[in-house]
Structure 1
Amino acid sequence: MTIHDSPADIAHEIFDLASLLGVLLAQPDAETAIDGMHRVAQIIRDRALVLREIEAKAE
C-alpha cells in the first residue's frame, strides 16, 4: 500500500479485503477472530477513504 496506488489497485484491494472479512465472519467460532475482523474492516475503511480522496482531486 503506497500513496502511488491507482484507483483500480485500491478498488481491487478493498474487494479482496472485504472477501477476507466475509470468510472470517463465516467461521463457526467467529468470536475468536473478532480482533482480526475489526482490523480488516479498518483497513477497508482507510483504503476506501484514500480512493474517495483521489476521486475528489480528479474532479
Structure 2
Amino acid sequence: MKNKEFAVYKGDIMLAMGTATECAEKLGVSEKYIYWLTMPTAKRRLAKRKNPEKCVVADVID
C-alpha cells in the first residue's frame, strides 16, 4: 500500500493528494491516520456524525 496515491478531502475542498507519507506531512498527522481514513470502519463512523460534510475523508486513487 506504500505506492498508492490518496486524495484527502474536507467537504468539497481537497486538502492533500499524493502518497500516504506526503499527505501525512502536509496535514501534520501520521501515515496510519491517512490509511485509517480509507477503511470502511472510518467511513461508517464519519457518516454517522451530525455534519458528515465537515469531516476529513480520504480515498485511494487507482
Same structural fold, with TM-score higher than 0.5 when normalized by the shorter chain: no
Q: Which has the larger radius of gyration?
A: 1
Name whichever structure is richer in strand by fraction. Answer: 2
Question: TM-score, normalised on structure 2?
Answer: 0.31
Name whichever structure is richer in helix by fraction. Answer: 1
